[in-house]
Amino acid sequence: MPLVAHSNLPAFDDLKREGETIIPADLAIHQDIRELHIGLLNLMPDAALSATERQFLRLINDSNQIAQFYVHLFTLPELARSPQGLAHVQAHYETFEQIKAAGLDALIVTGANVTQPDLAKEAFWSPLVEVVEWAYENVTSTLFSCLTTHAVLQFRYGQTRRLQPAKRWGVFAHRLTERQHPLVAGVNTRFDVPHSRFNEIGRDQFEAVGLRVLVEGEEAGVHLAVSRDGFRLVFFQGHPEYDTISLLKEYKREVMRFAAGDRDDYPPFPENYLSPLAQAILDEYAEALCAAKNSRTPIPPFPEDLIAPMLDNTWHDTAEAILNNWVGKVYQITNQDRAKPFMEGVSPDDPLGIYQ
């Protein structure tokens, strides 16, 4: 949690200019450690529903060991689900009406699978717009992941995602493009982020509508951007929530689609993810699978258990740090109404004095 500026030490001002959260003593004495209520709008299909829950819950839990988190899961009833998926949602999720009635401190919106190029034609489009517009007026900050970043850029800012020549798939290096923003305070200046997408929003599109790009990679493009006020809307274009094996699971799914005849080409490896030894093992497996397919004999089991121990995770600690910064800012903003003198003269578009 934040440092308290209990004296006139110049270092406090220096740290604040660098993006650290520094609060005055008269605000600190009004605070107590309390719970934070974070919504998780899960738009993923049934096959990824539980895995996505675990990924984001783990990231939230790892981000801060002091605050108590209540995570409220909900989804959109317009999304098609199997009887098993629907039963899971009915047993463990809340409705949007319940979410609105109780209120939230912050909201995370996951990615989603799409069926067509125009996002406005997807079943989730209108209900997602409703949730986002409600959150903008009633929630301190909303964090969007991948596909929902593209959706919000389209319906709120008129920026349509661009189809890439090939799928951006793998683990890619990124750099901070703005080092003093509170969301990236204390974060490595260079770090990795997984990506898995066919489309992207370019830096020029973010900047054309006044959004601030905080993290970008030469190969993968923009990863992290924020709204003009610096905090209310947070956009991830990558997947920092991914587990170590998430890309391996995706690769396995595509291999099995090839085996079933649902795709014509054998899938390429996710970039910058597999070691040379792992690739050699998977190349041998590809030969065995193709031979079995041609001879119409049983497909050999995918060597997931052999490959998984060889994988490295080079992104989780940075994702954890950024989410910890996000949680800290949510905590401070939602506590500010307890110290009216501190709020006097503070702009609602810059409640933490980020750009002062």
| Closest by CA position to 304, among listed 342, 252, 260, 247 | 252
Q: Is residue 350 part of a domain?
A: no
Question: What is the band of 12 on the pLDDT scale with cuts at 50, 70, 90?
Answer: confident
Q: Across the chain, what does the average pLDDT equal?
A: 89
Q: Is residue 356 part of a domain?
A: no
**234 and 258 housed in the same domain:** no
How many other C-beta atoms lie within 10 A of the C-beta of residue 343?
A: 13
Query: Residues 194-214, buried b or exposed e (16+ Cβ, 10 A)?
Result: bbbbebbbeeebbeeeebbbb
**137 and 204 housed in the same domain:** yes
Q: Is residue 184 part of a domain?
A: yes
pLDDT digits (tens, 9 = 90+) for 331-354: 888 876 543 332 333 344 454 444
For the record, the structure tokens of 315 come out as 């992104």
Q: Where are the strands (E) in 16-135, listed by range?
A: 22-24, 35-43, 68-74, 106-112
End-to-end CA distance of the chain: 21
**pLDDT for 260:** 96
**169 and 116 housed in the same domain:** yes
**Could you list the active site residues?**
146, 239, 241
112/8: higher pLDDT: 112
For the record, the structure tokens of 168 come out as 């951006």
Question: What is the band of 2 on the pLDDT scale with cuts at 50, 70, 90?
Answer: low
pLDDT digits (tens, 9 = 90+) for 125-140: 999 999 999 999 999 9
Residue 59 to residues 107, 155, 201, 287, 342: CA-CA distances in angstroms? 14, 28, 24, 37, 31
Alpha-carbon gap, residue 90 to 84, rounded angstroms: 10
Alpha-carbon gap, residue 211 to 207, rounded angstroms: 5
Phi and psi angles of residue 191, each rounded to the nearest 5 degrees, phi first: -160, 170
**150 and 52 housed in the same domain:** yes
pLDDT digits (tens, 9 = 90+) for 158-198: 999 999 999 999 999 999 999 989 999 999 999 999 999 99
Question: Helix H segments across 64-184?
Answer: 83-92, 96-102, 125-138, 147-155
**55 and 13 housed in the same domain:** yes
**82 and 222 housed in the same domain:** yes
26/235: higher pLDDT: 235
Rounded to 10°, the helix 316-335/46-63 angle is 70
With left for phi above 0 and alpha for psi between -120 and 50, is residue 340 left, alpha or beta?
A: alpha
DSSP summary character for residue 313:
-
Q: Is residue 352 part of a domain?
A: no
pLDDT digits (tens, 9 = 90+) for 83-115: 999 999 998 999 999 999 999 999 999 999 898
**103 and 153 housed in the same domain:** yes
| DSSP result, 233-259 | EEEESS-TT--TTHHHHHHHHHHHHHH
In which domain, by residue range, is 182 found? 3-243+313-343
**pLDDT for 352:** 43
pLDDT digits (tens, 9 = 90+) for 191-234: 999 999 999 999 999 999 999 999 999 999 999 999 999 899 99
**31 and 145 housed in the same domain:** yes
For the record, the structure tokens of 73 come out as 């899961």
pLDDT digits (tens, 9 = 90+) for 28-48: 666 666 678 899 999 999 999
Alpha-carbon gap, residue 64 to 280, rounded angstroms: 39
Q: Is residue 15 part of a domain?
A: yes
**254 and 206 housed in the same domain:** no
312 bridge partner residues:
none
**pLDDT for 20:** 66
Please check whether residue 216 is in contact with residue 203, taking contact to mean a CB–CB distance below 8 angstroms. yes
- State the burial class of residue 342 (Cβ atoms within 10 Å of its Cβ: 0-12, 13-18, 19+): middle
263 pLDDT above the threshold of 80: yes
What is the number of structural domains in the chain?
2
**296 and 228 housed in the same domain:** no
**28 and 154 housed in the same domain:** yes
**78 and 66 housed in the same domain:** yes
27 pLDDT above the threshold of 80: no
